[in-house]
């Protein structure tokens, strides 16, 4: 049997590794648009911030040899021909498959396509992006940057650039940074603390409506509030779009069943796959590394053994990079809100019918594992959660379990 993967990202690497560990002995080809061993996008901002390149290759540089893979790199797939069971690439190659693993992830969204032709404007998505940004920063001796978009990726980008020594302004259309992974108050707290701790400048409730360039290089950005920022470096982090159009022109992700099958011969996983939420069942793209890995694992077991079922995705978001100030959230931010705050730590749990419906933990990670477990297990939590939430020692759960007095 010949297996072909579209993509060499986190889902595809996990899938291939699992195939071999499950005893799959057939031929495997991986088709990728970049020319690297599999890498983790979660780690590439650290590389930009100065960590060694080796650290991004999360399954080893020798991945293709170790798992007996034929790598077909630097040549994107442009078409999946289901009838003939082949994929076609930009450079005219045709690759036949018996089973396809379709995991091309998502691509950086640019408000205007022509922005990408201006030197100094970058997405923040791939290892190629990080290399290009790093080279540009040192060549042009950049000392400042504008990051457009203050979500998870935008903040990650801003912190990485600040680690490199640049001063950064984030332009964000919302009322607060990290607006998707926080509620209004939590996001306002995180924004205030991030500004205090790093000195980043944050321009909220405004957008970049245009860029200016001279001799093909960026000179500045114009904002919708009528002001202008002079800059030679703009990182665009206003969202991503799934690369799902490869399958029948689908625009909003590839639907699949619980065995991660999108078609009898095509598995999918990762940031392109439409799955359902493990707790509330809502369909959607739940783009994070743990979901991608779990989905790939199920797909590989299905292919080799015909067994296994995906338990659903979690919308957990953990921003814990570059500085010691984590922001963690999960679930839905509605229901009865219980809040506790002291110093740099802010915690909120949303209860619905006595169970955790969502939570936001800022400035500290120690409760998040326990909240995660309470949320996923759907245990009744209303009786203990007030005490636990307000335990400044962060060990209320363990003290209770050991029969000790609350701290
Ligand atoms: C900067 C950054 C930081 C992140 N940090 C975190 C984090 O801290 N925690 C977390 O959980 N998640 C994080 N994520 C998200 C996480 O990386 C993704 O959810 C995960 O990588 C999804 O795996 P994937 O295989 O679907 O996509 P990817 O890992 O992006 O892989 C997609 C692959 O497909 C290739 N490809 C695309 N189009 C084609 C084509 N037409 N033909 C061939 N190949 C193609 C790409 O080059 C790539 O190899 C981060 C993402 C980014 C960009």
What is 110-236's CATH number? Answer: 3.50.50.60
pLDDT above 90: residue 163: yes
> What tokens appear for 287 in the block?
């783009």
- Ligand 1 binding pocket includes 103 (Cβ within 6 Å): yes
292 CB within 6 A, ligand 1: yes
pTM of the model: 0.96
pLDDT in tens, 188-234: 999 999 999 999 999 999 999 999 999 999 999 999 999 999 999 99
In the predicted structure, residue 238 carries a pLDDT above the cut 70: yes
Asked if 2-106+241-305 and 110-236 have one fold, the answer is: yes
Look at residue 399 and tell me whether its pLDDT is greater than 70: no
Q: What is the mean pLDDT of residues 376-404?
A: 77
Q: 106-143: b or e for each residue (b if 16 or more CB lie within 10 Å)?
A: bebebeeeebeebbbbbbbbbbebbeebbebbeeeebe
- What class, spelled out in words, does domain 2-106+241-305 have in CATH? alpha beta
Instruction: Return d(Cα 349, Cα 339) in angstroms, integer.
Output: 7
pLDDT of the residue at 171: 98
Q: What is the mean pLDDT of the chain?
A: 96
**Ligand 1 atom at minimum distance from 272 CA:** 26
The pLDDT value recorded for residue 388 is 82
Q: What is the model's pLDDT at position 394?
A: 61
Q: Is the pLDDT of residue 252 over 60?
A: yes
Query: Which ligand 1 atom sits nearest the alpha carbon of residue 240?
Result: 53
Q: Is the CB of 244 under 6 A from ligand 1?
A: no
Give per-residue pLDDT as tens, 83-122.
999 999 999 999 999 999 999 999 999 999 999 999 999 9
- Per-residue pLDDT tens for 1-49? 999 999 999 999 999 999 999 999 999 999 999 999 999 999 999 999 9
Top mutation candidate among 16, 42, 128 for ligand 1, by most atoms within 8 Å of CB: 42
Q: Whose CA is nearest to atom 27 of ligand 1?
A: 105
Cβ–ligand 1 contact at 6 (below 6 Å): yes
Q: How far is the CA of 383 from the centre of ligand 1 (A)?
A: 40
Strand order in the sheet with 217-223: 208-214, 217-223, 228-230
What does the pLDDT read at residue 316?
A: 95
List the chain domain ranges.
2-106+241-305, 110-236, 326-401
What's the pLDDT at 398? 63
327 pLDDT above the threshold of 90 = yes
Over the stretch 63-81, which tens digit does the pLDDT of each residue have? 999 999 999 999 999 999 9
Residue with CA at minimum distance from ligand 1 atom 28: 9
Q: Which fold has domain 326-401?
A: Enolase-like; domain 1 (3.30.390)
Can you tell me which atom of ligand 1 is nearest the CA of 36? 49
CA-closest residue to ligand 1 atom 26: 270
């Amino acid at each position: 049997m010949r297996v072909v993967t579209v993509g060499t990202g986190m889902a595809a690497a996990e899938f291939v590794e699992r195939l071999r560990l499950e005893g799959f002995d057939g031929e495997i080809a991986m088709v990728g648009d970049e020319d690297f061993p599999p890498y983790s996008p979660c780690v590439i901002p650290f590389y930009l911030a100065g960590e060694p390149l080796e650290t991004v290759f999360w399954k080893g540089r020798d991945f293709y040899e170790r798992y007996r893979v034929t790598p077909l790199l630097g040549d994107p797939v442009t078409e999946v021909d289901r009838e003939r069971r082949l994929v076609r690439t930009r450079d005219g190659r045709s690759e036949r498959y018996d089973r396809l693993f379709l995991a091309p992830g998502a691509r950086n969204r640019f408000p205007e396509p022509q922005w990408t032709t201006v030197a100094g404007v970058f997405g923040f998505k791939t290892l190629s992006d990080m290399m290009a940004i790093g080279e540009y920063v040192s060549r042009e001796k950049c000392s400042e940057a504008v990051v457009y978009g203050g979500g998870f990726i935008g903040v990650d980008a801003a912190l990485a650039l600040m680690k490199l020594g640049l001063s950064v302004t984030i332009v964000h259309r919302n009322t607060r940074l990290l607006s998707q992974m926080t509620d209004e108050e939590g996001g306002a707290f995180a924004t205030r603390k991030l500004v205090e701790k790093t000195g980043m400048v944050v321009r909220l409730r405004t957008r970049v409506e245009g860029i200016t360039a001279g001799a093909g290089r960026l000179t500045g950005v114009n904002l919708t509030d009528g002001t202008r920022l002079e800059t030679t470096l703009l990182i665009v982090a206003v969202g991503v779009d799934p690369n799902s159009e490869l399958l029948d022109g689908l625009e909003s992700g590839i639907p699949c069943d619980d065995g991660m099958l999108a078609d009898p011969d095509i598995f999918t996983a990762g940031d392109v796959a439409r799955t359902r939420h493990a707790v509330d069942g809502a369909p959607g793209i739940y783009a994070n590394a743990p979901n991608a890995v779990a989905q790939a694992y199920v797909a590989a077991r299905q292919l080799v053994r015909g067994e296994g079922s995906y338990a659903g995705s979690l919308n957990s978001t953990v921003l814990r990079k570059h500085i010691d100030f984590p922001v963690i959230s999960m679930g839905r931010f509605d229901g009865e809100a219980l809040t506790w705050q002291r110093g740099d730590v802010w915690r909120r749990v949303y209860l619905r019918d006595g169970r955790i419906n969502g939570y936001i933990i800022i400035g500290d990670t120690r409760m998040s594992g326990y909240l995660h477990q309470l949320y996923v297990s759907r245990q009744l939590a209303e009786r203990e959660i007030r005490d636990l939430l307000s335990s400044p020692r962060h060990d209320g759960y363990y003290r209770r379990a050991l029969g000790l007095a609350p701290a």
